[in-house]
Amino acid sequence: MHPPEAVESNGVDVVMVKARTQDAAVEGIHWVSERGVFCAGTRHELDTLWLDLDDTLYPRSCGVAEQVRVNIDKYILRHILDTTGSGNVSPELVLRAEKMREELFLRYGTTLRGLQEKYHVDAHKYWDEIHAALPYASLIHPDPALEHVVSSAIPLKNKWILTNADAAHVRAVLSALHLAESTFTGVIDVEAMQFANKPEPIAFQRALALSRAGTFAQCLFLDDSVRNVRAAQQLGVKGVIIGDQFCQCELAHLRDAHQASRVCTGKDPTGGAIHGAWSLHDFADASKSIFFPT
């Protein structure tokens, strides 16, 4: 086995994913072999992929999240804050809507869950205003390589979309990407999880049952949210952050190493292992060209 190259950034060890091995692993890194994907320190074979939808299956740069935030703010203004129905919205009220959205998201995992808890909002009416108004075709463009990435480059038997959104939104995103629903074993949306949502432990427990996976240790979870990945890891799931959150905020010290390698792993400031890739394509490329011995 060739040892991985290590660099040090601000006193934090960052292990670049450059080692090649057949079925062994450096702690915290996921390796692929002919017998499946294994995680360091365990012989549990992974067989189930949980793949987040928004900002994971397609890049954040598409602007979907930004448009969703705008739609949510309008919803809060229309149904929660502007009780007179006058439509005359002051700048102060706009700021209150933005603050409410952010606070509910941080506390409940999604703004919808917070609105349900505090204001008994009907989810389907909410989605009609948040998602149905999205110009999917102009925001999300077809990705011809994505079908191969999901179907072949990530060698796991069961592949599920795991999302805090609704099934109609999933179908609209897949349609815009020109990605067939049959590419996946199935979809676990927030309704299927009985409106529990990531990062709540109960959401992952329900996903485990719905995906018919044996144990958390047999699940690989790809998500753009650091918070969601950490929550899953605490349950024993193997998590990888997809996208730019890996080199932002409290993980900014990993930025240079991450840009250099596209896929890497290290320790965050709390001492926990953290793993990430710039994109789903980068993760799949690493699985194929780095983890498989040549």
| pLDDT for residue 241 is more than 50 | yes
Take residue 284 and report the two structure tokens written for it: 């799949």
Question: Given this model, what pLDDT does residue 249 score?
Answer: 38
* CA-wise closest residue to 51 among 259, 237, 261: 237
Question: Given this model, what pLDDT does residue 129 score?
Answer: 96
Look up residue 236 and give its amino acid: G
pLDDT tier at 88, thresholds 50, 70, 90: confident
pLDDT tier at 85, thresholds 50, 70, 90: low
Mean pLDDT of 9-17: 26
pTM: 0.79
Cα separation values, 138 from 35, 63, 130, 135, 173, Å: 41, 10, 16, 6, 11
- DSSP three-state, residue 271: coil
SS3 content of the chain, % helix, strand, coil (to 5): 45, 15, 40
The Cα 10–Cα 185 span in angstroms is 42
Which of 126-130, 145-149, 186-190, 238-242 is predicted least confidently? 238-242
* CA-wise closest residue to 226 among 180, 290, 275, 183: 275
Pairing outcome for strands 219-223 and 238-242? parallel
Instruction: Calculate what percentage of the chain has a pLDDT beyond 70.
Output: 71
pLDDT tier at 275, thresholds 50, 70, 90: confident
Per the CB < 8 A criterion, the answer to whether 242 and 279 are in contact is yes
Structural domains present in the chain = 6-58+141-290 (3.40.50.1000), 63-137 (1.10.150.450)
- For all residues of the chain together, what is the average pLDDT? 78
Question: Given this model, what pLDDT does residue 86 score?
Answer: 67
Take residue 128 and report the two structure tokens written for it: 């009609």
Q: Give the end-to-end CA distance of the chain in Å, rounded to a whole number.
A: 13
pLDDT tier at 77, thresholds 50, 70, 90: very high
| pLDDT for residue 120 is more than 80 | yes
User: pLDDT (tens digit, 9 = 90+) per residue, 189-233?
Assistant: 999 999 999 999 999 999 999 999 989 999 999 999 989 998 999
Q: Which residue has the higher pLDDT, 89 or 204?
A: 204
Question: Given this model, what pLDDT does residue 15 score?
Answer: 26
Question: Given this model, what pLDDT does residue 247 score?
Answer: 56
**Using CA atoms in the order 266, 269, 271, 273, what is the torsion angle rounded to 10 degrees?**
-30
Mean pLDDT of 133-158: 92
